[in-house]
Amino acid sequence: MGYFGAASDFDERLAKKLKLSRTDVRCLDLIGRLGPITAGKLAEETGLTTGAVTFILDRLEDAGMVTRRRDTEDRRRVWVEIVPEARQRLAGLQQPIAEEMREVAQRFKAEELAVVRDFMRQAKEVFQHQVKDAVNESVRDAVRESVRSAQEAADEAARSARESVRESVRESVRTARDAARDAARDAARTARDAARTAASEGATKRRAADSAGEASAREDAEGEPPTEESGGKTG
């Protein structure tokens, strides 16, 4: 394993200990050394887009590693700062390797270190370019996945809403049909009761009329003068 492989392995292990991605740790380290810092400045330092930096800062803030506050004079500007606990934890993880690297640097002359410095600076630019492309693609994938998930959630919500509406309509139809049946039965029952009542009243009136007719006939019969046929004779 060469230098870059060893450095990459160290960064990977450091990121796992912090439960972050390697790019998150790079940004956290820069915020710790340069902060408070704006998202725009952080994008310049890392070579990332502002959209990618915003995405990373969201994760760091959710992890409790950084805080964001608005500028008191320019409310559009937001400052990012590492929290003290995160600074101490990051420094504690980096301190052993920093001390060993200082010991290694003391074995070389200033001119030799200058050559190494120039090489590392140019190598950093190469890495920044590659990381920028990789992270931007990662952000695009995350955005696409978020859009896809949101669309699926919207589709599911629409399906649920349609099914709910259909069920509501079916329930309304059932309720209306049951109410119509009940109303029809009630109306039929009321009509039958009214018919029976009317028939009963009609029969009562007919009986009363018959009784009145019979009584009138008897009265007429009793009030007629006797006739010869009834046995009336004169002396």
Better pLDDT: 212 or 143: 212
At residue 235 the predicted structure's pLDDT band, cuts being 50, 70 and 90, is very low
Residue 46 lies in a domain: yes
Residue 194 lies in a domain: no
Highest mean pLDDT out of 26-30, 46-50, 131-135, 194-198: 26-30
Residue 47 lies in a domain: yes
Better pLDDT: 17 or 229: 17
At residue 231 the predicted structure's pLDDT band, cuts being 50, 70 and 90, is low
Residue 88 lies in a domain: yes
Give 54's contacts (C-beta < 8 A, 6+ positions apart).
39
pLDDT of residue 209: 77
Residue 11 lies in a domain: yes
Mean pLDDT of the chain: 81
68-106 pLDDT, tens digit each: 998 888 888 889 999 999 999 988 888 888 899 889 889
pLDDT of residue 132: 64
Q: Residue 54 sits in a domain of what CATH number?
A: 1.10.10.10
- Find the mean pLDDT for residues 116-136: 75
Domain that holds residue 135: 3-159
36-63 pLDDT, tens digit each: 999 889 988 888 888 889 999 999 999 9
Domain count of the fold of the chain: 1
Residue 209 lies in a domain: no
Residue 98 lies in a domain: yes
Residue 177 lies in a domain: no
